[in-house]
A and B are shown apart, each in its own frame.
Chain A
């Protein structure tokens, strides 16, 4: 009998190779290398200014929107270098969706919020079906199915955030980037989002930036700890399975940070 080892190997959907990032003259990230496993949740943690949100935004080229931004190194997404000149960043963003810290629905109906991405991508299929799918996946359908024409702002903060997740899911991305998705939410809405993350990882790869250590420990499979040195430049200190990071980290800096002894 032969064993197919390939099946057991984790699939790395994103490979970051020696990534450095500059805002003009300021270097925000230095030589970051890490692989993101498909259908897993990866948490990026570290103190403010360590570059974790910058790294997150690198995954869908959102940093291109900053003037004088410069990238060195590579991010390989499904065997494609997303920073190669022939790549359209809009295409990347359709495959790598993003949800932000504060819920930011459009001033439109619940339905139109979810339909937005489909429309601008010229989707020609059944809108009702796709919108229901996205709202079911974001665990919002039961709460909004009878009021799809209501304005999105009539929803609670937690519901608005799940609507933003539905909006990202509607265009069927492979990866979802979550930038502190629960920092503006109450504990009940936070738990709903965390439960949702656990469900969504069956179909999507999720990368989450969070300041909440317990949240990183609860929801993620792997955790990357970043830290900025005296030159304020962010480096990757440790990257490992979340259980190892929160039980027995290898680096003292990681232990100091997660135990709140960082000074």
Chain B
């Protein structure tokens, strides 16, 4: 099969994407663990991990840009490279949101939480499930999986709304909780945005497979 070097380069980029996926999942999981256990050291580690993702993103983008310049891809090949660049951008933004959660945890400080966390860990779990699924759909070029990811986003929106309502009620009853309640709302917002990024990757997959863009969520 001709263009072996080009296909090899695409595979290498794919391996880097897989590595970023693992790191981002660790960051999301770790940021919520640190919140739950009030672990400031772990939050600092999560913040440091964002540099790893940024470095991967720069490398992947530079390689993709050079592949476009050197190979002048068209049609499906061009969509593959464009999609890689979009996917790494989404993953990098997810890492930023996880880093944001770690920073919020540090700002909450060395105090107990105003309530046991139930829906926030559930949102984190769902967001990681969506991330796994959207990248599975991307790797397997499966439009059905991509569509399923977009359906899952509705649950994330509902969870976020529930968290906001609950925290607003708590802070209205006891205004001394309002500072932390606001921070926890930000965290729910960050998790919801992480899920949105997964739906973006699902939409990118549909573009990759069909050649046309479709807004799903």
Binding site for A on B (CB under 8 A): 1-3, 6, 72-78, 210-212
Q: Judging by beta carbons under 8 Å apart, are A258 and B3 in contact?
A: no
Pair B74/A246 contact, Cβ less than 8 Å:
yes
Known: A259-B75, A262-B2. 7 other contacts (CB 8 A): A213-B74, A248-B210, A255-B76, A258-B75, A259-B73, A259-B77, A260-B6
Chain A residue with the shortest CB-CB distance to B210: A248
CB contacts (< 8 Å) of A263 on chain B: these are 1-2
Least CB separation from A254: chain B residue:
B75
* 12 residue pairs from A and B, CB less than 8 Å apart: A213-B74, A214-B72, A217-B74, A247-B74, A248-B211, A249-B75, A258-B75, A259-B3, A259-B73, A259-B76, A260-B2, A260-B6
Interface of chain A residues 204 through 263 with chain B (CB within 8 A):
213-214, 217, 246-249, 255, 258-263
User: What's the Cα separation between A258 and B211 when bound, in Å?
Assistant: 15
Known A-B contacts A247-B211, A248-B212; A261 and B1 likewise in contact (beta carbons under 8 Å): yes
B-side interface mostly: loop
Q: Is the CB of A260 within 8 A of B3?
A: yes
Closest residue on chain A to residue B78 by CB atoms? A247
In the complex the two chains form, what is the Cα distance from A217 to B211 in whole Å? 17
State the 5 A-B residue pairs at the shortest beta-carbon distance, nearest first: A248-B211, A246-B74, A259-B77, A260-B3, A258-B74
Q: How far is the CB of A225 from chain B (nearest CB, A)?
A: 12
- B contact residues around A214 at 8 Å (CB): 72
Bound complex: CA A214 to CA B71 (Å): 11
Bound CA span A259–B2, Å: 10
Q: How far is the CA of A260 from the CA of B76 in the complex (A)?
A: 11
B77 neighbours in A (Cβ, 8 Å): 259
Q: Choose among A217, A247, A255, A263 the residue with the greatest number of B CB atoms under 10 Å from its CB.
A: A247
Q: Which of B74, B76, B78 has the most CB of A within 10 A?
A: B74
- Which of chain A's residues have a CB closer than 8 A to the CB of B3? 259-261
Residue-by-residue, is A9-48 near B (CB-CB < 8 Å gives 1, otherwise 0)? 0000000000000000000000000000000000000000
Kindly report which residue of chain B lies nearest to residue A259, judged by CB atoms. Answer: B77
Contacts of A247 in B (CB 8 A): 74-75, 78, 211
